[in-house]
């Protein structure tokens, strides 16, 4: 009888361990977006993920950026192009801090090519808008993910709607 109780106890421990492992795996899933193949006449022509995306994000910033993952989506069509940069931070607090630093550098950097700073909201998300380098730039954060969307004025809102909702 004691042997059966001990075996049941060990089985219960094993089941709890397995369930806990599945819970941890579920909590660790990335929330990076799935990009649409076409948005407002622009076709997704390239999607960079994994280490290549982390390299591209660090290259854009001129230094290694401390994030867990990233993606870069390039759209093109009818003389227009758009890019969506996404990085996922280790925590929401890290993402908030990284977003604030980026916005501040874009707003007040002496060599910043960006102007026309504006804050707008869409579906409960704070979007920071800039103009520069011939396009409009939207920067926003959803949970641990930071987005930088660059596109022409008529296209950028549709791109953001596809991400934010």
CA gap 159, 79 in Å, rounded: 16
In this prediction the pTM is 0.77
Give the angle 145-146-147 at the CA atoms, nearest 5°: 120
CA gap 130, 133 in Å, rounded: 10
List residues bridging with 71 in a β-sheet. Answer: 49, 86
Provide the pLDDT for residue 124: 85
CA gap 91, 143 in Å, rounded: 8
What's the pLDDT tens digit per position in 110-165?
888 999 999 998 888 999 999 999 999 999 999 999 999 999 988 898 888 888 87
């Amino acid at each position: 009888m004691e042997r059966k109780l001990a075996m049941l106890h060990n089985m219960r421990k094993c089941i709890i361990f397995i369930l806990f492992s599945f819970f941890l795996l579920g909590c660790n899933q990335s929330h990076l977006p799935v990009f649409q193949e076409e948005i407002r006449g622009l076709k997704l022509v390239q999607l960079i993920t994994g280490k290549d995306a982390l390299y591209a994000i660090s290259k854009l910033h001129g230094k290694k950026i401390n994030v867990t993952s990233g993606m870069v989506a390039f759209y093109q069509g009818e003389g227009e192009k758009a890019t969506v940069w996404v990085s996922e931070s280790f925590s929401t607090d890290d993402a908030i801090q990284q977003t604030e630093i980026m916005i501040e550098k874009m707003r007040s950097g002496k060599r910043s090519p960006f102007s026309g700073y504006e804050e707008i909201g869409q579906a409960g998300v704070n979007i920071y808008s800039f103009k520069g380098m011939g396009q409009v730039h939207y920067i926003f954060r959803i949970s641990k993910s930071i987005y930088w969307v660059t596109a022409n004025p008529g296209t950028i809102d549709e791109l953001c709607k596809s991400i934010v909702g």
